[in-house]
A and B are shown apart, each in its own frame.
Chain A
Amino acid sequence: MWIWASEKEIRLWLDGLRQLIDQISVGRDSTLDGMEDKGGKAASSVRQESGQEGERDDGDAMPRARASRASAPIQSSLESALGRKVELSTVGGSIQGVLAEVGDGFAVVRESEELIVIANLDQAIYVEVSGE
């Protein structure tokens, strides 16, 4: 099949596609938020499933980008706190120690000389940085 189109028409078509994808992703987010408001584990399991889906499908970069956006505010806050004492609270417990490293979606905290922790920032609830 052959399609004859000018450069302008192709750009318009691509813009339309982009808008459609944005609308779909906004719709998915609002659905998840609505489920979370109602409480329960359903929302978190859906969120986890969507994260795993992104990892399975390497060709689709959108779920990965969404995951990194979720942790981006905490990640950027931590990047300026390297070497300082932090308390990182996650749904699985909290971590206290000196912030040693911040990577894409994770942080390395040294709790003591022997204990090192890698925290998944996508699961972080809040972070507290000491003033020292």
Chain B
Amino acid sequence: MTDRLQGWIGREVQAATASEVVAGVLVSADEGRLVVRTSGVSGYGNGRHAVLPLASICYVRLIA
């Protein structure tokens, strides 16, 4: 699953867990976790990131 998700790095995704859906740009998928940038790149900061354990992810949808 990680290998498959790594092919989506830089793309817009929706990652669903049991409690909520996190939408944003997929930054990385490794070491048992998924990192999604939930807000746009602004200034020197690189936006807000959500870190999700892969084990808690129900599905990841590729939007664009």
Contact of A106 among B4, B53, B64 (CB under 8 A): B4
Residue on B with the closest CB to A47?
B55
- Interface residues of B, CB < 8 Å — how many? 22
Pick out which of these stretches binds chain B: A29-37, A79-87, A112-120. Answer: A112-120
* Residues in B whose Cβ lies below 8 Å from that of A119: 58-59
Question: Per DSSP, are chain A's interface residues mostly helix, strand or loop, or mixed?
Answer: mixed
CA distance A120 to B61 in the complex (A): 11
Q: A92 and B18: CB pair below 8 A?
A: yes
Question: Per DSSP, are chain B's interface residues mostly helix, strand or loop, or mixed?
Answer: mixed
Q: B4 and A51: CB pair below 8 A?
A: no
Contact with A along B44-64 (1 / 0, CB 8 A): 000000000111111111111
CA distance A91 to B16 in the complex (A): 9
Q: A52-B32, A55-B31, A123-B18 are known contacts. Are A90 and B4 too (CB-CB below 8 A)?
A: no
Known: A106-B4, A108-B4, A118-B60. 13 other contacts (CB 8 A): A44-B18, A48-B56, A55-B53, A92-B17, A92-B19, A92-B58, A93-B21, A115-B61, A117-B62, A118-B1, A123-B18, A123-B56, A123-B58
